[in-house]
């Protein structure tokens, strides 16, 4: 099986204020700056982030599969909305 990924709002890890897409180096930040991403795909431990474009470009090659985000403790209700269409197509 491929790696499970979660689509979620970007939350910086402790001691860090940003991350980069693992493939194209697009920048993820919580703050609102030009040309930064505020949500994307991440591994279940949030150690790697992947932008929307790279997810679509590479998901078949790496056999990623999208899983529901179990960590909703500090997130707003928008993340309890129905799963993205991409999940429905993959399941």
Which residues in 42-71 contact Zn ion (CB under 5 A)?
51, 54
Euclidean distance between CA atoms 53 and 2, whole angstroms: 18
Q: Which is nearer to Zn ion, 24 or 90 (CB)?
A: 24
Euclidean distance between CA atoms 61 and 18, whole angstroms: 26
Q: Is 85 left (phi over 0), alpha (psi -120 to 50) or beta?
A: alpha
Which residues in 2-31 contact Zn ion (CB under 5 A)?
21, 23-24, 26
Shortest Å distance, C-beta 73 to Zn ion: 27
Six-digit token pair at 66? 């999208």
Q: Which is nearer to Zn ion, 2 or 72 (CB)?
A: 2
Euclidean distance between CA atoms 42 and 57, whole angstroms: 15
Shortest Å distance, C-beta 78 to Zn ion: 22
Contacts to Zn ion by CB under 5 A: 21, 23-24, 26, 51, 54
């Amino acid at each position: 099986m491929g790696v499970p990924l979660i689509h979620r709002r970007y939350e910086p890890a402790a001691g860090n204020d940003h991350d980069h897409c693992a493939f194209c180096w697009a920048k993820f930040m919580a703050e609102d700056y030009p040309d930064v991403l505020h949500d994307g795909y991440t591994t279940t431990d949030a150690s790697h982030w992947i932008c929307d474009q790279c997810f679509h470009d590479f998901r078949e090659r790496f056999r990623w599969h999208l899983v529901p985000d179990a960590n909703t403790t500090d997130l707003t209700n928008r993340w309890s909305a129905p799963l993205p269409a991409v999940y429905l197509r993959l399941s």
